[in-house]
Amino acid sequence: MVDILCLNVGSSSLSFVAFSETSAGLTQLADGGVDLSREASLQINVEDKSGMKFIVPDPSDFDDAVLGIIDKLKSAAVLGSGYVVSHRVVHGGNRTCAAEWLTPDLAQQLDLLTPLAPLHQRKALGPAQTIAKQHPHTPQVAVYDSSFHATLPDLARALPLPDAPALQGIRRFGFHGLSYAWVARYMAEVAPSRRRIVALHLSGGCSACAMKDGRSIDTTMGATPLDGPMMGTRSGAVDPGLVLYLLQARNLTPDDVAHMLWHESGLKGVSGISNDLRDLLPSDDPRAERATGLFCRKVAKAVAEMTVSLGALDALVFTGGIGAEQPRIRERICADLAVFGIQLVPEANEACAELLTAPDAFIEVRAVASQEELIMAQETQNLMRSAR
């Protein structure tokens, strides 16, 4: 049996979960992480042991932090001599497999996709390359955040662009797939009759996914994780004519525009205060309300868009840090969706219960904490079994 260390690197956060592969299934050994927007220390929580904290010299250096995690888990006898490291890789390009052995050659191929996911791709591959240097005999796995959307039909994959050589291999891919895979499995267990589902992953990045019978049939993110509703620092979908205008008439460089769209827009750009709703919701600054209102309206419109692809809606599922933990945001989004007949039970929503509507509601609404690392571990297990 093998231990599996799942590393989930985001644009400004690092989380991990260590599992043990046993005959009875996967057992969680430890978890932890760091959110650079809130803290500068990396927390390690070991099951049945006291928690440990350590300070990394540079909390934004995830390569160094990952090595620290491995050293601490090995010194605490959490990880055995044989273990596998599984990495969440946001962009898998045209790969349809869920997971692959992360060899140096594959890492180079995946690095070519960095311009399509500049906030995530290299941040995930960096720790993998560091581990390969410091622990060269440790097997590593890439689990793709885009692979859940391999089931997209041709219409949902298509871009309204010409068949030009410069666009070869480019299509709508979709992301947040590990989160959506968890939602699909969860809903199959608790509400199997709810076949047509819109899931909302709302966190630093935000997207919507239309699922039918547990399969992705449409999603709001396209060729890059910049598409869809507005996010923490990302603009989401904007008028492409505006981008051309900024380049041609306002003399901004491509790098200027890219920085604006990826790093200075969304909640941060509209509010001028913060990219975090935990800062904006209690604020009495009218700019905070403007950003919050625009965010909720954009997300509600994304639900309507996904419902068109489904033909009807049986359930709406909120996940991600905002989706699972922010009742005021869920309330505002669902108020915009009242035309669908959605009506939350206020007490359930305020308590962040899993079921937020009456049991017999025509459209069920749920809030579900994502378990991306568990999906990573399961996909890693599947890959290891196929190699045995």
Q: 140 and 195, same structural domain? A: no
Residue 210: name the closest of 171, 155, 288, 261 by CA. 155
- As a whole number of angstroms, the distance between CA 333 and CA 343 comes to 11
Query: Structure pTM?
Result: 0.95
Look at residue 82 in the predicted model and tell me its pLDDT.
87
> Would 157 be classed as within a structural domain?
no
Q: Looking at the structure, tell me whether residues 210 and 82 fall in a common domain.
A: no
Domain with 360 in it: what CATH number?
3.30.420.40
Domain final residue pick, 144, 177, 200: 144
Mean pLDDT of 64-80: 87
What confidence tier does 51 reach under pLDDT thresholds 50, 70, 90?
low
Question: 340 has which bridge partners?
Answer: none
**DSSP state letter for 229:** S
Evaluated on CA atoms 210, 275, 351, 178, the torsion sign reads positive
Rounded Cα distance between 201 and 178, Å, is: 10
The range of the structural domain enclosing residue 274 comes to: 191-367
Does residue 186 lie within any of the structural domains?
no
DSSP, res 12: S
Residue 221 sits in the same domain as residue 131: no
Please give the DSSP secondary-structure letter assigned to residue 80: -
Q: What is the CA radius of gyration of the chain?
A: 21
Based on the structure, what is the number of domains in the chain? 2
What are the backbone dihedrals phi and psi of residue 315, each rounded to the nearest 5 degrees, phi first?
-155, 150
Do 131 and 224 lie in a common domain? no
Which residue type occupies 60?
Answer: S
255 within some domain: yes
For residue 160, CA distances in Å to 157, 224, 238 come to 10, 15, 15
Q: What is the mean pLDDT of residues 262-278?
A: 97
Three-state secondary structure call for residue 372: helix
Q: Is residue 180 part of a domain?
A: no
Mean pLDDT in residue range 197-210: 97
Instruction: Confirm if 333 and 300 have CB atoms less than 8 A apart.
Output: yes
For residue 62, how far is the Cα from the chain centroid?
Answer: 18
**Is 181 part of any domain?**
no
Whole-number Å distance between alpha carbons of 224 and 67? 29
What are the residue numbers of the active site? 145
Helix segments in the chain, DSSP class H: 62-75, 104-111, 121-134, 154-157, 177-190, 240-248, 254-263, 266-271, 277-280, 286-310, 320-325, 327-336, 346-350, 372-387
What is the pLDDT averaged over residues 194-216?
Answer: 97
The answer to whether residues 120 and 40 belong to one domain is: yes
Element (H, E) at 384: helix 372-387
In this structure, are 205 and 108 located in the same domain? no
Residue type, 320: G
Residue 58 and residue 198 in one domain: no
Q: Are 342 and 265 members of one domain?
A: yes
Are 118 and 34 in the same domain?
A: yes
Residue 378 falls within a domain, yes or no? Answer: no
Answer yes or no: are the C-beta atoms of 220 and 227 closer than 8 Å. Answer: yes
The angle subtended at Cα 346 by Cα 340 and Cα 351, nearest 5°, is 125
Residues 220 and 305 in one domain: yes
Query: pLDDT tens digits, residue range 347-380?
Result: 999 999 999 999 999 999 999 999 999 999 999 9
Q: How many helices (H) and strands (E) does the chain have?
A: 14, 13
In a domain, 273, yes or no: yes
Domain membership flag for residue 160: no
| Same domain assignment for residues 110 and 213 | no
Handedness of CA 209, 144, 223, 243 (dihedral sign): positive
What is the pLDDT at residue 24?
78
Q: Are residues 86 and 228 in the same domain?
A: no
